[in-house]
Amino acid sequence: MAQVSETKGLILFSRDYKEKDKLIKIFTESAGKVMFFAKGIHRPNNPLRPAIMPFTEAVYIGNLKEDGLSFLNSAKEVHPLRKLQEDIFLNAYGSYILGLVDAAIDDHVYDPALYSFTKQALELMDQGYDGETILNIFELQIMQRFGVALNWRACSICGKTTGAFDFSSKYSGILCQDHWHMDEHRYHADPRSIYFIRMFSTISYDKISSVNLKTETKQAIRKTIDQLYEEYVGLHLKSKRFIDQMGEWQNMLKPVDPDNDLK
């Protein structure tokens, strides 16, 4: 039975439905992911339009149903994340985060911890923190929602916690350098990527201001996380493919430093 409720929520995505209406999926704080029907949303004077823009959090009011479509009536306390809406790179990272959320849990699954974790990631990006680092942390820590639990804490053979490590699918965790010979098919990953992935798998967002990575290190981390997702999650989102393509033309969109031009 539908009941009129209000809840904080983050817009996951929307798509047109018929000529003037939309279907809008919202990750709500109190009811999980909910698909809403919004009538007449394409009309220029519809007050709901700002509240359903991508990368927006608001308090949404509507008729919530446990099955089928819910109905969105109004919204208040609308908070757009402007930088994510306007910056193509942050937009890509944010879209991938929201795509992971949509894939990780079923509709109507109450998950306030994931809601808070997602909101914090997007807000920090909007505040100017490094989008790639935030995305890496999110990717690693949300893997648990896909039923993946890997050992990043210590060597799977001897329990060693310091030194150089590599990841082993055979042992579902890391191996110290003394035991690399135990798995000839280990990832052979850049040790720097394993070092930071170990950190990112448990770090809280309030500590990321102390993390400043070189481009080469970010690329090594990206390669290893991609390998993990391919093996353990098997998810192929359009937003991730776009991120992969960004590296090819990212430098073309950045302003030229006139000082470097003169060197």
Cα 60 to chain centroid distance, Å, stands at: 22
Amino acid at 31: A
Average pLDDT of the chain, as a whole number: 91
pLDDT at 261: 39
pLDDT at 68: 83
HSE-CB of 162 using CA atoms within 13 angstroms: 0
pLDDT at 263: 33
pLDDT digits (tens, 9 = 90+) for 113-122: 999 999 999 9
Q: Hey, what domains does the chain have and what are their CATH numbers?
A: 3-80 (2.40.50.140), 85-253 (1.20.1440.120)
pLDDT digits (tens, 9 = 90+) for 27-46: 999 999 999 999 988 888 88
Map residue 89 onto helix, strand or coil. helix
Residue 93 has pLDDT above 80, yes or no: yes
Q: For residue 174, what are its two tokens?
A: 């890391």
Antiparallel, parallel or unpaired: β 21-28 and 32-38: antiparallel
pLDDT at 67: 82
Identify the CA nearest to 6 among candidates 76, 60, 66: 60
- CA distances to 82, 104, 116, 127, 229 from 122, rounded to whole Å, are 11, 17, 10, 9, 21
**pTM summary value:** 0.90
Confidence band of 262 (pLDDT split at 50, 70, 90): very low
